[in-house]
Amino acid sequence: MQLGINLGYFGLGSDTDNVAIAQEAERLGYSSCWAAEVYGSDAATVLAYIAAKTERIHVGSAIFQIPARTPAMTAMTAATLDTLSGGRFRLGLGVSGPQVSEGWYGVSFDDPLGRTNEYVEIIRTAWSRERLIHAGTHWTLPLPDGPGKPLKLTVHPVRERIPVYIAAIGPKNLEQTGRIADGWLGMYFSPEQAEVSLGPLRQGRGGSLDGFDVATTVQVSVTQSDSADELRAAADTHRAFVALYLGGMGSRKQNFYNRQARRMGHEQAAEEIQERYLAGDPKGAAAAVPHDLIDSVSLIGTRERIADRLKAYADTGVTTLIVAPGGAAPGHPGLTLDERLTVLRGVAEAAELAQV
């Protein structure tokens, strides 16, 4: 199992630390460094800067939002980043949610599965440097009855097949991800509930995940002891982040993370978190997040306890564990640079203990 680092959203107060974090992760042997976007900074610019400041670590988008760019633009951006980084780019994609897609980008959130499938087809055609011809439900290239003509990518990417990852949560999206992608970007993955996500992925792959990168992002807090009080205090620092996703990342009718928590057996808590968050009470929503939910989807404890959890992740079939130190959320900037570096080193040491 490889380790990755998630830099999160650029613009939440620790931006100048990103290069130092990536460089230390590279020194420690982490395989990949990921950046996110929503409706603030874009991920491509951040990743280009990180790639220029590193030598070996791969850089990945977690995620590029599908409604933000045409598929041809994403193909160009990915090919450029892969070339500039010397073949170190990994393309993570996701449809985002209806609030962002329609409210920020003005793109209808209809048929997300169909859009994703066509999007991946188009970018792979572009990378192959074939003339781009596509007749689908959502994109037709070239447009009919006009001056457009089939074009092909003018640059030569370092790799014809840049790895494509898809951020998926729901069963149908997971199954399609297994079928069309090279890897999966997960969140709120619990080894004890692994089949909630891995079952549909495996089904999409025809029964086996061999050669498929199961990559999940995990919030991490390293403690001095495994006492109940210290573990609970560490878990409490994750509450605002979990409540933001389960309560505020979507509407009452359409919150994919909330649905995931329900599928994992936390129906009552998921409902309360959402009710409080949407009522304008984020602190109350955070207080409603169960400790056992946080503990099951996070790495919390001493290096020895984290090592045991790393074994559990590896045993379920996770092939890349992406470390997210601090759980920054609006109003909660997360850890200092020194604290984030301590987390990076702690997880690397735990991985050595676990021999994963």
pLDDT score recorded for residue 54: 98
The alpha helices in 205-336, defined as continuous H runs, are 228-236, 239-243, 256-263, 267-278, 282-287, 291-297, 303-316
- Residue 239 inside a domain? The answer is no
What share of the chain has pLDDT > 90, as a percent? 84
Sequence-distant (≥ 6) Cβ neighbours of residue 124 within 8 angstroms = 161, 164
- Residue 286 inside a domain? The answer is no
Distances (CA, A) of 15 to 18, 155, 355: 6, 31, 32
Q: Which of 40, 25, 47 has the alpha carbon at shortest distance from 328?
A: 40
pLDDT score recorded for residue 59: 98
Residues 200 and 206: their CA atoms lie apart, in Å, by: 10
- Residue 126 inside a domain? The answer is yes
- Residue 302 inside a domain? The answer is yes
Q: Which of 354, 341, 340, 235 has the alpha carbon at shortest distance from 303?
A: 354
Q: Which domain holds residue 134?
A: 2-222+298-354
Amino acid at 129: R
pLDDT score recorded for residue 273: 96
**CA angle in degrees (0–180, nearest 5) for 285-40-236:** 30
CATH of residue 180's domain is: 3.20.20.30
- Residue 267 inside a domain? The answer is no
pLDDT score recorded for residue 81: 97
The most distant pair of C-alpha atoms in the chain lies apart, rounded to whole Å, by 70
Q: Which of 13, 73, 64, 21 has the alpha carbon at shortest distance from 42?
A: 64
Pairing verdict, β 213-222 and 164-167 = unpaired
pLDDT score recorded for residue 21: 94
- 50-56 — which CB contacts under 8 Å span 24+ positions? 50/7, 50/18, 50/19, 50/22, 51/81, 51/84, 51/85, 51/88, 51/89, 52/84, 53/19, 53/22, 53/23, 54/22, 54/23, 54/26, 55/26, 56/26, 56/88
Q: Which of 323, 297, 312 has the alpha carbon at shortest distance from 235?
A: 297
Residues 30 and 265: their CA atoms lie apart, in Å, by: 33
- Residue 211 inside a domain? The answer is yes
- Residue 118 inside a domain? The answer is yes
- Residue 81 inside a domain? The answer is yes
Q: What is the pTM (predicted TM-score) of this model?
A: 0.94
pLDDT score recorded for residue 327: 53
The alpha helices in 136-290, defined as continuous H runs, are 171-180, 195-204, 228-236, 239-243, 256-263, 267-278, 282-287
pLDDT score recorded for residue 9: 82
Total domains, the chain: 1
Distances (CA, A) of 52 to 36, 56, 73, 334: 18, 11, 21, 26
Residues 47 and 7: their CA atoms lie apart, in Å, by: 10
Residues 88 and 47: their CA atoms lie apart, in Å, by: 11
pLDDT tens-place string over residues 46-101? 999 999 999 999 999 999 999 999 999 999 999 999 999 999 999 999 999 888 99
pLDDT score recorded for residue 14: 55
Distances (CA, A) of 75 to 39, 71, 134: 21, 6, 14
The pLDDT tens digits along the chain (356 residues) read 999 999 988 866 556 789 999 999 999 999 999 999 989 899 999 999 999 999 999 999 999 999 999 999 999 999 999 999 999 999 999 999 888 999 999 999 999 999 999 999 999 999 999 999 999 999 999 999 999 999 999 998 898 899 999 999 999 999 999 999 999 999 999 999 999 999 999 999 999 999 999 999 999 999 999 999 999 999 999 999 899 999 988 778 888 899 989 999 999 999 999 999 999 999 999 999 999 999 999 999 999 999 999 999 999 999 999 999 865 544 555 688 899 999 999 999 999 999 99
